[in-house]
């Protein structure tokens, strides 16, 4: 296609330069270059096998495309904005290598099914990368949890101290969240298993293409079932963005805790110098910029999801040029998520835990008020009645500025006659946590079992990802 001329022979006027700039996508869809070449090689081989193009020309086309792939890989490929998109750039460069037979390559396909195929291949790769990123962060969290099975700290609700837990138990909560995040990317890859190539512009072609062959060569299990759906849908891109946005929310929540815990007011952790920054004015400052940036970038990825949802919400079947706007949000979200997973893994791996500060905060006896109520329940008192009595005990201690543990059995019985012992015997920190020996609880035995189970799941997932990498 001549520069400045629309595709095909229908048009007599050159495209206005402002329209060229406005509609060009090569500045961002060059990210699909590797995948575009892969799809083109599979398509060329299929055309030859079907006798649609001379078999003797297939070798030249494939060799030319492999030369293009090498140029893309080593950074010497001459991307040309005048050629509008990655598809035309690859085809034009192929012509440089093999001459006029490059015009054979587009036989039986459209840029509509071509870009849908490129995007599916790209989404498979970045989904696997995102899953690996969540897995690596989970490994770091499990390793740090293993170091701190005996480190106690308050668990919080409403950002108020609630009940004491083990730091390992707290870390394993994020392991569970991130495992679900990774699972969403794995689920998506199962739906990225059909090849759009061969769907054409929207209704296929009269040529006898072998869609099953190209699907297999590109690592898909089968071709897509409906040609219009193949070129009209971007729900798989939306699903990636949704999974990325949810994962970023998990990272943002973890980042928020690192920010809080690194303050002087909490003092639970100190971030490594390599994952902190200083102030341009105040020499004493050590700022938690890494988790703050992760927290901020979550909004960016959420915005990527909303942007593509807004693009797609009113489009009639099948392909519309609006759908060119699918790529930048996907590329941005993939890169942002990749970087955030990496820096958070580094920050968590290198931070210093102030277990003394954590234990001091967890030693607040008011955190065991529920245990005091449950001591009454074990004596046969209805929980609501026990809750009321302990609430009055707590109010008394607050009003008198008393340590709950100083109350004798007689002191407690002034609030309910069923109290079986002095407060100090009923609200011991270590025994309180050990009594929470239920599945999913913070008792040491349960936490150690959860750590062992998490390691097994990590190894199983790692093996599955490695096996998937060996599949084309």
**Domain 17-107 coded CATH 1.10.275.10:** yes
Residue ranges covered by each domain of the chain: 17-107, 112-354+451-470, 364-434
Q: Is 279 marked active-site? A: yes
Which CATH architecture best describes the domain 364-434?
Orthogonal Bundle (1.10)
- 380 and 418 Cβ atoms separated by less than 8 Å: yes
Q: Is 148 marked active-site? A: no
Exactly one of 23, 221, 279, 431 is catalytic; name it: 279
Phi, psi of 327 (to 5 degrees): -80, -45
Q: Can you tell me the distance from the alpha carbon of 65 to that of 40, in angstroms, rounded to the nearest whole number?
A: 8
* Token pair 């071509």 in the structure block, residue: 114
Q: Can you tell me the distance from the alpha carbon of 422 to that of 212, in angstroms, rounded to the nearest whole number?
A: 76
DSSP 104: G
Exactly one of 76, 158, 264, 280 is catalytic; name it: 158
The contacts of residue 257 (CB under 8 Å, 6+ apart) are none
Query: Cα dist. 237→45, 100, 126 in Å?
Result: 28, 35, 11
- 218 and 191 Cβ atoms separated by less than 8 Å: no
Q: Do domains 17-107 and 112-354+451-470 have the same CATH topology?
A: no
Selection from 353, 186, 171, 339 nearest residue 261 by Cα: 353
Angle CA 104–7–227, to nearest 5: 70
Q: Can you tell me the distance from the alpha carbon of 392 to that of 372, in angstroms, rounded to the nearest whole number?
A: 12
The contacts of residue 229 (CB under 8 Å, 6+ apart) are 318
Q: What is the pLDDT along the chain (472 residues), one digit of tens a residue?
A: 444 555 566 767 777 777 777 877 888 899 999 999 999 999 999 999 999 999 999 999 999 999 999 999 999 999 998 888 999 999 999 999 999 999 999 999 999 999 999 999 999 999 999 999 999 999 999 999 999 999 999 999 999 999 999 999 999 999 999 999 999 999 999 999 999 999 999 999 999 999 999 999 999 999 999 999 999 999 999 999 999 999 999 999 999 999 999 999 999 999 999 999 988 888 888 999 999 999 999 999 999 999 999 999 999 999 999 999 999 999 999 999 999 999 999 999 999 999 999 999 999 999 999 999 999 999 999 999 999 999 999 999 999 999 999 999 999 999 999 999 999 999 999 999 999 999 999 999 999 999 999 999 999 999 999 988 765 5
**Domain 112-354+451-470 coded CATH 3.20.190.10:** no
Token pair for residue 412? 């407690």
Q: With a threshold of 0.75, does the pTM exceed it?
A: yes
Q: Can you tell me the distance from the alpha carbon of 297 to that of 290, in angstroms, rounded to the nearest whole number?
A: 11
Locate the DSSP E strands across 109-232.
152-157, 160-166, 194-195, 222-223
Q: Where would I find the H helices in 75-110?
A: 86-98
């Amino acid at each position: 296609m001549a520069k400045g001329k629309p595709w095909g022979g229908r048009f007599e006027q050159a495209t206005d330069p402002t329209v060229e700039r406005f509609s060009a996508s090569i500045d961002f869809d060059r990210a699909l270059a590797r995948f575009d070449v892969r799809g083109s090689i599979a398509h060329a081989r299929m055309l030859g096998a079907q006798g649609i193009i001379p078999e003797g020309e297939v070798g030249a086309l494939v060799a030319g495309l492999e030369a293009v792939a090498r140029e893309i890989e080593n950074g010497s490929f001459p991307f040309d904005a005048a050629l509008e998109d990655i598809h035309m750039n690859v085809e034009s460069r192929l012509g440089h290598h093999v001459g006029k037979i490059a015009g054979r390559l587009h036989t039986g396909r459209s840029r509509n099914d071509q870009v849908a195929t490129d995007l599916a291949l790209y989404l498979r790769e970045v989904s696997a990368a995102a899953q690996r990123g969540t897995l690596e962060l989970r490994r770091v969290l499990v390793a740090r949890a293993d170091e701190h099975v005996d480190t106690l700290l308050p668990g919080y609700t409403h950002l108020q101290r609630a009940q004491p837990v083990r730091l390992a138990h707290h870390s394993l909560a994020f392991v569970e969240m991130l495992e679900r995040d990774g699972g969403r990317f794995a689920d998506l890859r199962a739906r990225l298993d059909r090849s759009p190539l061969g769907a054409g512009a929207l209704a296929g072609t009269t040529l006898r293409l072998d869609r099953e062959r190209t699907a297999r060569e590109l690592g898909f299990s089968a071709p897509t079932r409906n040609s219009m759906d193949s070129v009209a849908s971007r729900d798989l891109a939306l699903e990636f963005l949704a999974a990325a946005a949810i994962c970023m929310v998990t990272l943002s929540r973890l980042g928020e805790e690192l920010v809080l815990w690194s303050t002087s007011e909490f003092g639970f952790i100190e971030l490594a110098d390599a994952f902190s920054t200083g102030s341009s004015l105040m020499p004493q400052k050590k700022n938690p910029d890494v988790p703050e940036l992760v927290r901020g970038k979550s909004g960016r990825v959420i915005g990527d999801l909303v942007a593509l949802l807004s693009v797609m919400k009113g489009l009639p079947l099948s392909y519309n040029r609006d759908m060119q706007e699918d790529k930048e949000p996907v590329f941005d979200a993939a890169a942002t998520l990749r970087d955030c997973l990496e820096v958070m893994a580094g920050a968590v791996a290198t931070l210093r835990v102030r277990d003394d500060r954590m234990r001091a905060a967890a030693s607040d006896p008011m955190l065991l008020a529920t245990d005091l109520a449950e001591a009454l329940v074990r004596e046969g008192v209805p929980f609501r009645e026990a809750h009321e009595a302990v609430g009055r005990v707590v109010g008394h201690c607050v009003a008198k500025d008393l340590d709950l543990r100083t109350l004798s059995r007689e002191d407690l019985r002034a609030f309910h006659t069923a109290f079986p012992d002095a407060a100090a015997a009923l609200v011991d920190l270590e025994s309180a946590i050990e009594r929470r020996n239920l599945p999913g609880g913070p008792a040491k035995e349960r936490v150690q079992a959860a750590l062992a189970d998490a390691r097994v799941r990590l190894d199983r997932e790692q093996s599955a990802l490695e096996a998937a990498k060996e599949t084309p």
